[in-house]
Structure 1
Amino acid sequence: MDAPTSMQGFQRWALNPLTVLGCVIAGGVLGWAAPAFARHLGVVGVVYVDLLKMIVLPFMISAVIFSLQNLYHDGGAARIFKRVVAVFVTFSFLVAILAAAASLLARPGGDLRAETRVALGKIVSADTDSSNTRMSMRTIEEAPKRTSLKEVLQALIPQNIFAALANGETLKALVFALLFGFAAGQVPNRIASGLHQALETVYHACQTLTRWVNLPVPFVLVCMAASEVALAGLGPIRAMAGFVMLFLLVCALLLVLAIALMGRRAGVPFRTVAQAMREPFALGVATNNSATCMPAMVSGLVDKLQFSRTRVELLVPLSISLLRVGAVAYFVCGTLFIAALYGRHVSALDLGVLVLVSVLSGFASAGMAGIVTVSLIGTICSYLSLPFEAAFILLVAVDPICAMGRTAVTVISSCAAVAAICAAPVKL
């Protein structure tokens, strides 16, 4: 077996959901059995998360601008550009609102015992029982700072894109990438070809770098799980059962709505659409990779639901690249889970910020999967002043299950978006 084949085999093993779950369990056992030693392993997780953050910005910018250039320069896509944008944006916001409503009703993570909250607080140096007492002996405790709409807009619009990149401000960079991608699409091909090739090079280079960074994932997960269990014990893990159940229920609801929409557009019964989507759904659950489902998506939409092949073959890759509604639902549920975990009251403005930032982060997650997707919740939490470090390992622990629902929703919802954009099939 040659070296590239062996490396690919190791990568598949390292990112296999069973491997991820097994490493988290092994790390938990290590943290429980040798807490004094395991506490020192947390630095491995810190370095790993920093490496992921290093890749996110160039990967996101190149992917978004590259996709928008393709959209503009393809004649078929240019004619339906407004409809594509309207459907993608509408789908993303509706999914975010639905996920927020479900999370607020269920409030997973909001019924933890006091000792569990204290343990989590210690992990992020936010032990309110002690720190607030010390501060109150010195000065009057200030009221929590409220975020205004003006501050939200200023946090999204970059005054200096280079400063935003230097400071790691992901959403400002995304807003710039979207606007720049729209403008670059208007430039003639003979002029824009150099930029197009450069962006494609950056895109594929970041993919390669991500694969390299993910090579030590089993070791990293063992270290992170061991460190967190040594600090907080096993109690916080119990909070994840409610989160997983909520997210899977949201995914099931979104799948039903997507299939119902396709049935309405195609003029066929719900059962017929469900059978047509069986193969892409199974591939999404089995591989956790939406790109691998594209041939099955095209087959289901064209051969079984009779949509136009020309339109479907154009729109399926675009929807898989940009319409990441599974990630949007996950970002909303995950952020509200963390808010409930720390007893943070979420105001109407906070919900508005959460929905908007989650939708933008969904577009920013183009091409990302697994743990890299989980790390984007940290960006959203920063806008709501929520701690993320302790919750990261909790989300990673159950991500093999959540990733299945996330991918399935992205795949089937992308098919629904394609069906909404395409003309209804003509019945003979």
Structure 2
Amino acid sequence: MVIGALAGGVLGAMAPEAAQHVVVLGDLWIRMLQMLVVPLIISSIIQGVGSLGDIRHLGRLGGVTVAYYLITSGLAIILGMILVKLIQPGVGADITAAVAPLGTEAAVKHGWIDLLRGFISPNIFASATQGDLLPLVIFSLAFGAVLTTVGEKGQLVINIFEGIFAAIMKLVHLVMWIGPIGVFGLVAGRLAIAGGSEGIVALLVGLGLFTITVIVGLVIHAGISLGLILHLAGQRHPFTYMGFLGAALTSAFATASSSATLPLTMEGVERAGIRTRSSRFVLPIGATVNMDGSALYEAVAAVFIAQAWGIDLPVTALMALFIVATVSTIGAAGIPEAGLVTMVVVLQAVGLPLEGLGLLLAIDWLIDRFRTAVNVWGDAVGAAVVDRYVPG
């Protein structure tokens, strides 16, 4: 990805006219990702909700767990939005000659009534073809929840969607293999439009500020937000608790996979005194449902891309972004760069250009490691909170 971005930058700076002829490579790659969005969001959310088991029988254990996931994800997204609005990393990365893609301006001018109506669609198939993803998210949540209540037949359908999700992720992996070529075309084309070498400087400055914004947000969320929750709600000292999770957090940073780190996370929290009942319920679900780091990253990335394209997102668009970013992390695969896949969902839901992904891929491999470590830390904190508030 880095080589593709650098090569595209060199071509866009040195030969802008030639660079315009390779834009099609980036367009094709974006189309491949768009092709996978609808089956991905439906299958990921349904299998994610299905993994909770019968929602009628979750009781106190499930209720506290779900409440913790929603609260911490929401805090992460709000923090990310505040930081990206204050630092404004995308303003310095204006490489699009202030030209927003067709249709984007209209997409972000919805009022509150339009936002509420957007939750429900009379025809989810029409919404899918039009890229209107919010009603698909709502339907998938409701459908997945209902499936958990209809016994063996419902579980059979959940298993089918788990298989669909696994197949879609395999396709995503194949598309990511040719990602460097797509990034090459996207960066080269964008810099050619922006005016050559000046665009490279703007891009580097913007990406540098974007990286700083995300990492600062992750540190604040992990250290202050989750630290306070652990201290106040979990009644545990954050540094002492973190000491038991050293191996898990190191593994999360090294592998960028919360799923691969799950055994170490379970071992760490149990050595810290968390009951097996709590750890074995909270952590496996959290590895696919609770993604605080990814949620913060998606919020910052979406606003960053809007700033880079000169788009001012109104409050209603930010509300839609908050909802979709929160929900899209449900069922997100605990694998490297899974956040990029859900980013497609978030950008389409708010009406932002998917070409912005090309700006992020060159540095995503680094940020992914930080946000995965925060994801794992958030799961571990959740286990401590649930262990305290759920007796037995």
Q: Scaled by the length of structure 2, what TM-score is found?
A: 0.86
Distance in 2 between the 1:401 and 1:284 partners?
A: 12
Change in 2 beyond 3 A, CA 1:60/1:153: same
Contact 2:96–2:190 at 8 Å: present in 1 too? no
Question: Which of 210, 213, 222 does residue 246 from structure 1 map onto?
Answer: 213
Cα deviation code 1:171-202 (max 9, x no counterpart) = 2212111101111111012x224313322221
Contact 2:257–2:335 at 8 Å: present in 1 too? no
Q: Does the alignment pair 1:404 with 2:336?
A: no
Distance in 2 between the 1:143 and 1:424 partners?
A: 46
- What is the deviation of 1:347? 4.0
Change in 2 beyond 3 A, CA 1:83/1:354: same
- What is the deviation of 1:316? 0.9
Cross-structure match for 1:69: 50
Contact 1:21–1:400 at 8 Å: present in 2 too? no
Look up the equivalent residue of 2:187 and give its one-letter code.
A
Q: Does the alignment pair 1:120 with 2:90?
A: no
Identity %: 23
Question: What is the total number of aligned residue pairs between the two structures?
Answer: 383
Contact 1:324–1:366 at 8 Å: present in 2 too? no
Cross-structure match for 1:170: 133
Q: Does the alignment pair 1:307 with 2:307?
A: no
- What is the deviation of 1:75? 10
Cross-structure match for 2:190: 228
- What is the deviation of 1:329? 0.7
Structure 2: state its 5+ residue gaps: none
Cross-structure match for 2:359: 394
Question: Which of 254, 259, 266 does residue 286 from structure 1 map onto?
Answer: 254
Distance in 1 between the 2:303 and 2:141 partners?
A: 27
Distance in 2 between the 1:74 and 1:309 partners?
A: 21
Change in 2 beyond 3 A, CA 1:243/1:35: same
Q: Scaled by the length of structure 1, what TM-score is found?
A: 0.80
Cross-structure match for 1:81: 62
Cross-structure match for 1:159: 122
Change in 2 beyond 3 A, CA 1:165/1:147: closer
Please state whether the residue corresponding to 2:89 is helix, strand or coil: coil
Give 1:3-402 correspondences, 5 Å limit: 20-73=1-54, 77=58, 80-110=61-91, 112=92, 117=94, 119-121=95-97, 146-189=109-152, 191-232=153-194, 233=196, 234-237=200-203, 238-256=205-223, 257-265=225-233, 267-303=235-271, 305-363=272-330, 365-367=332-334, 369-370=336-337, 373-374=339-340, 376-377=342-343, 379-381=345-347, 384=350, 386-389=352-355, 391-402=356-367
Distance in 2 between the 1:69 and 1:343 partners?
A: 40
Please state whether the residue corresponding to 1:72 is helix, strand or coil: coil
Change in 2 beyond 3 A, CA 1:212/1:205: same
Contact 1:62–1:200 at 8 Å: present in 2 too? yes
Distance in 2 between the 1:94 and 1:85 partners?
A: 14
Look up the equivalent residue of 1:156 and give its one-letter code.
F
- What is the deviation of 1:220? 2.6
- What is the deviation of 1:247? 1.0
Contact 1:259–1:270 at 8 Å: present in 2 too? yes
Look up the equivalent residue of 1:408 and give its one-letter code.
A
Deviates more, 1:76-85 or 1:269-278: 76-85
Contact 1:255–1:412 at 8 Å: present in 2 too? yes
- What is the deviation of 1:380? 3.9
Structure 1: state its 5+ residue gaps: 1-19, 127-141
- What is the deviation of 1:413? 1.3
- What is the deviation of 1:343? 4.3
- What is the deviation of 1:275? 1.4
Look up the equivalent residue of 1:422 and give its one-letter code.
D
Distance in 2 between the 1:308 and 1:155 partners?
A: 42
Contact 1:330–1:406 at 8 Å: present in 2 too? yes
Look up the equivalent residue of 2:3 and give its one-letter code.
G
